[in-house]
Chain A
Amino acid sequence: MYMRAGFQADCAFYHNGTRLGGALDTIDDLGLTPALFARHRDLTRLRYDFPLVLLRNSSGKDAAKPLSALIDAVCHEFDDAQDSAIYVHALRFEREIRVAAATHGSGGLQDLMTIAAKHMLSENASLYRDSIERLRKAIKIDGMVTDCNIAMPCQLFHHYWETVHRQKAQHFREMAGRLVVKLARILHADFVRSPEGLSPANLEAAMGTTQRTTFDFNALSELLLRTTSKKSLSESRRKRISWMLTTLESQRFYPPLTEGDDQHEPYNFVFENTADAMAAYRDRLPQMVELSKAIAMAGLEIAGEFDERFHVPFFAEYSIDNLDPDDFGLLPDYLILTHMSDIQPSEAETLQDAFAGGMRAKILVQADDILAIPAFTGGNISPAVRSRQMVNAAISLGEFYVFQAPGSQLPRMRESLANGFAHPGPALFSVYSGGATGTDHSLPPYMLAAAALESRAFPALTYDPLAGDDWPSRYHLTDTPQAERSWPTYPFAYEDAEHHSIEATLAFTVADFVACDARYYKHFARVPRENWSDAMVPLSDFLDMDKQAAAQKVPYLLMADADGVLHKVLVDEKIVQSVRRTTKMWLGLQELAGLRGGYSNINGHDRSQRPAPAPTPALIEAPEPQARSEPATSKPQPEAPAAPSSDDAYIETIRCSTCNECIHLNDKMFAYDDNQQAYIKDINAGLYRQLVEAAENCPLSIIHPGQPRNPDEAGLDDLIKRAEPFL
């Protein structure tokens, strides 16, 4: 009878969220976390991907590295790492740095190492001194150390942008510097030939001190002025080159080309909102066009290709429309570091306008709370709705590189992140920091972000529009754990009340993620151990049941309290619906990424049916079944041209080696074609005798004299006999 009453209470909670008869507890004050997180409450004792070190003077993926990877690399260089205490001490040193980073939020690696060393030496100086000295000596690099917290994404993305910006600035400096030098040389070359350049004073100044008295510079100047060409640069060309030089040297997109030039302060390219970035972009548009124009014109001018007839009118109309991706790529990308909570609908429109106008930006949209309850949802629980909308909108624009990941996964996605910054177009980075929730006992941001990732509430994905011509080539979910499954499962070991070891497999769904947030505690109810029943089934099993079987069961999650005691927590129908919605969304993403059914299979089928590409015309092979070492082929072959009749005179022109023999014999009868190969230009311009002689003299025997055209020509019988071998 009791079972029946308990099940009724469980069902009531499942359907209505009501707790009948006090049989179910709230979880408000229990400090529960998903069972799989039970062992990871203190992250400073865990060796994992954080903190990250933002390395100076590094680029690409390695612009940032996990502290643990740096320590491993250093230990790898010690020959005795496996045999001595150095490795153990290094791990301890790493932990102390991690603690210091967690305490201070961030700081320089060398500074944090000092704090960690102090702490260890104060604990046991004689034990650690030698190891710490060796470690500090080996770790020469420095950089900001940042833990997984709410500030980390901005720091990390700014750092990656800076590394790319630094490289671009270097490239621009070299490129523009070369242009300036070469343009200046054109002006200088003109100057040295001018009357002023050839003046005695200038000649004397150019000679150097030692030999100055040896020459009569007045006489030299007079002589040179008389003999040097008077041709000089046209005024229009001189003005044009001067304008290019001024434009290049006064540009403000990068630091000035001239050292010590403090009049042209570089523009700022880092913004906290799209509107400001867009305003700056619009303001700088004229300068951007002018700079691109100067670079394009300088390239032509230096190559000697500037043709005033064509180029002056063209450049007079030069505008933003003339700029191509390479031109945009030469200039700095705008970096917008913004928070989802600050983005208003009007800002989203501004964003779209900006990209339609050619603005190239890398945008970080950081979400700190993806479980906020919007007013319009009617009680539905839909994590990260706005992030999903933004990502989908960016993908739909076509040229965006799109990156989405929670903060916890960023160290493992550094390559994709670097690719986004290297992408020759705009990029959207959607990141969940895990930094703010409605919960009181608040898991560390790393754990919350990891929970969002594992549960598919905030999956890790990348979309590279240039990566291929189908969705699976462009769209990747591989950085989401167990991406091929609907939700991940992990082995879990625990002891029961009788201390028997139990091994189970636990799923991690969006219900586990939501259970970490106090704003949703009302959807969960702890079942006292004495009320556990067979009608309670794990949520993942419940989701797999058909409707009829599910009607006899209620779903629960396994959660752990601060003491590591496991609890069974019922979830209500809203949670189950949320899991079903998230799973459906996830299945759609899997199809796009080619991980499941639909798209990938169809696409694979299409590929197998696709006809082989046609051979390149230039490589078409000649027909020849009996050719030696030729592979058998059924390819259609072009036919060789038919040989002319032996009665007609002709030359196998394509075999002519331009030896001049026939041309020297009669250059009216024989001539060279456009490829400098001989042909019979006018057969009536000479005698049959000359045709025969040409055939005899041709070293390749490719002249065929044919039959005589004039039966009255002298000595014809002899000529016909001589011509026979060449017919």
Chain B
Amino acid sequence: MDQNATECLLRMCDQQYELEDYQAGVPRWCNGCGDNAILAAVQRLCRDEKLKPEKTVFISGIGCSSRFPHYMKTYGFHGIHGRALPIAEGIRMARGDLNIFVNTGDGDCCSIGAAHWIHAIRYNMNMTVMLHDNEIYGLTKKQASPTTPRGIKSNTTPRGAYLNALQPLTVTLGIQNASFVAQAVDWIPEVLYSILSKAYHHKGLSFIRIVQRCPEWLPEMFDTFVHNPDKVLLLQHENGIRPSAALAQVYRNREEHDPSNIHRAREIASTEDPIPVGILYRNPNVPCYEDIRSTPHLRTTKLIKAGLDSEFDKFTVWPPETAKAEEEEHTQAAE
């Protein structure tokens, strides 16, 4: 017997899931929106990994992409702007048994949530983070986000964006404790799925930047890359991903990249054309914050109450008669 009795029993009652078991409602995203492709890949992952809906949670901030939890028939937390990661970290600390996914957009993560993003990478808590990067604020109808390329005209930059775009991959790879960094594009679903699968199995924070099209506000932004496969650099490795034979026929521009090589990963992350797709960096040995801070103490009601009492007592102003009684009690105990 390779597994213990409980595992065998769990397997005995193993439940089969279909995509429908994870589908909740019809997405309100526009036709052609890359979010649809991400949703399809994630639902497929949940089905293939047989993730129990009641043991799975999707957390998001604000934006088009952050509507994601509404479309998953699992637990979800549509949080506040930029705060998806702190919420997810709290859930991870309290519930080690859950599968945690975070959906955040380029505005949500790289602007208002940038500080949380940096520290979440440093904390390296076990979760899969999808950065839906369409390089624009879509929900509020076309305002420049931190990843909007220089020169792109928007409602907030009518003469074109003034600054060079922030590159989420180079930022992430520059933060201590980064343990899994990948880039996917919504128009190659097979690779998107493969990366999601590797990310899910990685112990630690898996950060995936998913370059996605916004057909409404930047309809032609990625046309060059979508229609010319040579404009995509597919990263492949035995410790990363491998394309199928059919896909490899389309995407011939490939590089053998060892995800343990952080220096090459940083070089690749800086590349804009061709757009790199695959796992840039993976280090399974980075410790997770929840493991570092785990305590053997059993969190019983009694323990929690004692801890709270102890903290409250530091600030309690006792009525005079109670204080006197306490003092007498202490004196007797000391004697």
Interface of A with B (CB < 8 Å)? 170, 174, 177-178, 181, 292, 295-296, 299-300, 303-305, 307, 310-311, 314, 322-327, 618-624, 626-631, 637-641, 654-661, 664, 674-677, 699-701
Contacts and interface: CB of A to CB of B under 8 A. Distances in A.
Given A174-B296, A324-B3, A701-B227, 20 more contacts: A181-B298, A181-B299, A292-B5, A299-B6, A303-B10, A305-B13, A310-B9, A324-B5, A327-B4, A327-B5, A618-B242, A622-B249, A623-B245, A624-B254, A640-B248, A654-B247, A655-B247, A659-B31, A674-B19, A699-B187
25 contacts: A174-B298, A303-B10, A310-B9, A311-B9, A327-B4, A622-B245, A624-B254, A629-B256, A637-B245, A638-B245, A639-B245, A640-B246, A654-B247, A656-B189, A657-B186, A657-B187, A657-B189, A658-B39, A658-B189, A660-B31, A660-B36, A661-B31, A674-B19, A675-B189, A676-B19
A639 B246 CA distance: 8
A626 B256 CA distance: 14
Find the residue from B246, B249, B250 having the highest chain A CB count within 10 A. B246
Contacts of B215: 659, 699
A654 B213 CA distance: 18
A314 B255 contact: no
B316 interface: no
Interface in B6-64: 6, 9-10, 12-13, 19, 31-34, 36-37, 39-40, 43-44, 54
5 closest Cβ contacts across the A-B interface? A622-B248, A676-B40, A657-B37, A658-B40, A326-B4
Contacts of B31: 659-661, 664
Contacts of A296: 4-6, 9
B242 to A, nearest CB: 5
Contact of A640 (B6, B186, B236, B249): B249
A254 B309 CA distance: 31
A304 B54 contact: yes
A118 B13 CA distance: 70
A479 B246 CA distance: 57
B50 to A, nearest CB: 13
B238 interface: yes
A619 B1 CA distance: 28
B37 A654 contact: no
Contact of A654 (B186, B226, B246): B246
Contacts of B43: 676
Interface in B236-280: 236, 238, 242-250, 252-256
A627 B246 contact: no
Given A640-B249, A699-B187, A630 B254 contact: yes
Contacts of B226: 699-700
Contacts of A628: 252-255
A677 B188 CA distance: 12
A300 B8 CA distance: 11
A311 B11 CA distance: 12
B190 interface: yes
A658 B37 contact: yes
Nearest to B37: A657
B300 interface: yes
Given A630-B256, A631-B256, A701-B227, A621 B12 contact: no
A640 to B, nearest CB: 4
Contact of B247 (A299, A323, A622): A622
Nearest to A622: B248
A657 B190 CA distance: 9
Nearest to B188: A655
Nearest to B55: A303
Contacts, number: 143
Interface string B152-167: 0000000000000000
B252 A654 contact: no
Contacts of A631: 256
A629 B235 CA distance: 10
Q: Which of B188, B296, B298 has the most CB of A within 10 A?
A: B298
A621 B189 contact: no
Given A629-B255, A654-B244, A700 B19 contact: no
A322 B1 CA distance: 9
A659 B256 contact: no
Contact of A661 (B32, B37, B39): B32
A675 B299 CA distance: 42
A268 to B, nearest CB: 26
Contacts of B188: 655, 657
Contacts of B40: 657-658, 675-677
Nearest to A318: B5
B10 to A, nearest CB: 6
Contacts of A170: 296
Given A303-B10, A658-B37, A701-B227, A627 B252 contact: yes
Nearest to B250: A655
A211 to B, nearest CB: 16
A296 B246 CA distance: 46
A478 to B, nearest CB: 29
Contacts of A660: 31-32, 36
Contacts of A654: 189-190, 244, 246-247
Interface in B285-306: 296, 298-300
B327 to A, nearest CB: 21
A449 B3 CA distance: 43
Contacts of B246: 622, 640-641, 654
A632 to B, nearest CB: 12
Interface string B99-118: 00000000000000000000
B248 A624 contact: yes
Contacts of B253: 627-628
Contacts of B44: 675-676
Nearest to A171: B296
Contacts of B6: 295-296, 299-300
B105 to A, nearest CB: 18
Contacts of A304: 54
Contacts of B213: 699
B22 to A, nearest CB: 10
A576 to B, nearest CB: 53
B259 to A, nearest CB: 14
A303 B36 CA distance: 32
Contacts of B39: 658
B72 to A, nearest CB: 13
B317 to A, nearest CB: 14
A241 B42 CA distance: 37
Given A655-B188, A656-B189, A323 B296 contact: no
Contacts of A676: 19, 40, 43-44
> Which of A621, A629, A656, A699 neighbours the largest number of chain B CB atoms within 10 Å of its CB?
A699
B10 A621 contact: no
Contacts of A177: 298, 300
B243 A178 contact: no
A640 B187 CA distance: 20
A620 B244 CA distance: 8
Contacts of B5: 292, 296, 322-324, 327
A299 B97 CA distance: 13
Nearest to A663: B31
Given A660-B31, A699-B187, A640 B245 contact: yes
Contacts of A657: 34, 36-37, 40, 186-189
A619 B245 CA distance: 10
Contacts of B254: 624, 627-630
Nearest to A657: B37
B242 A621 contact: yes
Nearest to A698: B32
A659 B32 contact: yes
A718 to B, nearest CB: 24
A628 B256 CA distance: 9
A432 B293 CA distance: 46
B13 A624 contact: no
Contact of B252 (A305, A624, A639): A624
A656 B247 CA distance: 12
